[in-house]
Amino acid sequence: MVVLAEMGRLIQLQLLVAAASILCIQDEFTSAKRISEDSRKKLQCRIKELEAEKEAMASRIGRLETENAELKRLLEEKEPDLRRAIDERDATQCKLASVRMTIRKLLSEKRERVNAEKLEYTTAEERALVELSGEQPWDEAGFTDQSGGGSPKSGPSSEDDDNPQATIPQAKQTDTTGLIGESLRDIIQETGTRPGNDKTAKEGQQAREQAPTGVRTASSVRKEQTTVASQEGWYLEYFKPPATAELSVGGWLYEQLAEHLQLDNKTTICNTRYVNVENLPTTKIEKAHSHHKWWQDACMHIHIHNDIAFLFNPIVLEGPSTTYLISWGTRKINRKVEKYISRDRAENPAFHLLVLPAEKEAWWYLGMHSFTIAQVLPVWSILNSQDKDELTLELKKRWDQAPGGQRIATMLEQGDLQQCTIELRSEGLADHSLAFLHDQLGMSITDCGVGE
């Protein structure tokens, strides 16, 4: 009996455990069923949303198909006009290319014509007119040469009477004091020369022969050349003095200028650099001013001392009625030049111009000029290939350890070297030029080789 009772309790306990397990399983099943039902409802909602999106997409596709059909219809209607427009565009491009070729050909022919006209100046009559206008190369200008001695010549010789040695053209017989008191307009009126006259070389020679001998200025004759310059247009000049030069007197060694002008050590160092790049001074003074890196690029090599501007191997841009100093340098250097002239010297932008021409060791005085920063159309963009090659060669000469010509051309093309132009004017400054020549350089008009 005891055994049966014990077995009954065990069976009852097992039944209780089984019932508890069944209840747990039921609870898990119910929970899983509820989760599944929620997921089913969510999926049904998502299905409805996708069906709605499908309907919207189908509607949009239908509208796009309708629009596409309309566009195709319009394209078919406009296709003749479109083809005609494309043909006109291609024809216009061909015409533009032809115009460009014609312009380049005309520019090339014009340059050849200008060079031919310059070569005609070698005739005797033309050379006489050129000497009168002061447009000769540095070696052929007949300037007074002081390089052979330490002091100016005391007066003209008999040989000088036949070949005048200065570019101060005669206007009338007068003394130095009388010339300083006269204006350029008075000289023009008395010589009978008016701006814009297009005289032939023969007429110019006759006018010079009939004019009284005596002191003269270049202004009247220069104004005669205005028409010629207008016909020739724009060109770069590497060797001749600028057309604005009222005086062209020179041949000084720098030591002579330093003595006459009492130049300081800094100015002496800066300007002796120009004479010979390979033999730079190495004194303590030079080291103190080593920040003057004149030759690191092809910028305008200019040094200003008070009212004197020292220029080494300048490039001149001659226009129909205007003359410019032109250079190509970095933006930073050009800004310094523009700032100095436009702001620092705005009240007194006039300078006595002393120039050291290319491959020379003698300096020339070109008279007083006013400097004005000018904005000119980039010259590089309008040059033909021959002129560009010539310009890159000239820039290379002005550049210590210069890169190759092709590299310089690329720098100009890409704007790494930017153009800087300074307009030159000498109107109304002849008196100052003559006074500087007399007081500072110790020369009189007769010392220049002009007849008394």
SS3 letters across 156-192: CCHHHHHCCCCCCCCCCCCCHHHHHHCCHHHHHHHHC
Q: Quick one: average pLDDT of 206-228?
A: 34
Q: What is the dihedral of CA 129, 132, 134, 135, to 10 degrees?
A: 0
Return the domain boundaries, the chain: 123-448
pLDDT band at 186 (very low <50, low <70, confident <90, very high): very low
Q: Which residues of 122-140 are buried (b: 16+ CB within 10 A; e: fewer)?
A: eeebbbbbbbbbbbbebee
Lookup: tokens for 49: 């949303």
- For residue 72, the cross-strand partners are none
pLDDT tens sequence across 19-30: 889 999 999 999
pLDDT tens sequence across 362-391: 888 999 999 999 988 889 988 898 999 999
Strand (E) or helix (H) holding 355: strand 350-356
pLDDT band at 246 (very low <50, low <70, confident <90, very high): confident
Strand (E) or helix (H) holding 130: helix 124-133
Q: Which residue has the higher pLDDT, 155 or 400?
A: 400
Q: Quote the radius of gyration of the chain (alpha carbons, Å).
A: 44
The DSSP secondary-structure symbol of 242 reads P
pLDDT tens sequence across 49-72: 999 999 999 999 999 999 999 999
Q: Quote the pLDDT of residue 425.
A: 93
What is the distance of C-alpha 119 from the center of its chain? 29
The DSSP secondary-structure symbol of 249 reads E
SS3 letters across 378-440: CCHHHCCHHHHHHHHHHHHHCCCCCCCHHHHHHHHHHCCCEEEEEEEECCCCHHHHHHHHHHC
Cα→Cα distances 173→128, 370, 447, 450, 451, Å: 20, 29, 16, 11, 10
- Whether 315 has a pLDDT exceeding 60, the answer reads yes
pLDDT band at 448 (very low <50, low <70, confident <90, very high): low
Q: Quick one: average pLDDT of 236-254?
A: 86
- For residue 310, the cross-strand partners are 303, 354
Determine contact, residues 423/384, Cβ cutoff 8 Å. no
CA nearest 319: which of 246, 414, 242? 242
- The lowest-confidence range among 266-275, 294-303, 322-331, 332-341 is 266-275
- Whether 238 has a pLDDT exceeding 70, the answer reads yes
CA nearest 363: which of 198, 267, 249? 249
pTM for the full model? 0.47
Work out the mean pLDDT of the chain and round it to a whole number: 71
- Whether 346 has a pLDDT exceeding 90, the answer reads no
Highest mean pLDDT among 116-130, 170-184, 197-211, 278-292: 116-130
Phi and psi angles of residue 187, each rounded to the nearest 5 degrees, phi first: -65, -40
Q: Quick one: average pLDDT of 263-282?
A: 52
pLDDT band at 446 (very low <50, low <70, confident <90, very high): low
CA nearest 294: which of 281, 284, 307, 308? 281
- The lowest-confidence range among 61-75, 102-116, 189-203 is 189-203
Q: Quote the pLDDT of residue 324.
A: 95
Q: Quote the pLDDT of residue 268.
A: 63
- Whether 140 has a pLDDT exceeding 50, the answer reads no
pLDDT band at 232 (very low <50, low <70, confident <90, very high): low
Phi and psi angles of residue 310, each rounded to the nearest 5 degrees, phi first: -95, 120
DSSP letters of 34-83?
HHHHHHHHHHHHHHHHHHHHHHHHHHHHHHHHHHHHHHHHHHHHHHHHHH
Task: Give the C-alpha separation, 109 to 435, whole Å.
Answer: 44
Residue 445: CB atoms within 10 Å: 22
- The lowest-confidence range among 124-138, 211-225, 293-307, 351-365 is 211-225
Highest mean pLDDT among 135-144, 162-171, 255-264, 312-321: 312-321
The DSSP secondary-structure symbol of 321 reads S
Q: Quote the pLDDT of residue 105.
A: 81
Phi and psi angles of residue 411, each rounded to the nearest 5 degrees, phi first: -65, -35
- Whether 111 has a pLDDT exceeding 70, the answer reads yes
Task: Give the C-alpha separation, 371 to 345, whole Å.
Answer: 9
pLDDT tens sequence across 387-442: 999 998 888 888 877 788 889 999 999 988 999 999 999 998 988 989 898 888 88
Q: Which residue has the higher pLDDT, 372 or 301?
A: 372
pLDDT tens sequence across 215-224: 233 333 333 3
The DSSP secondary-structure symbol of 366 reads E
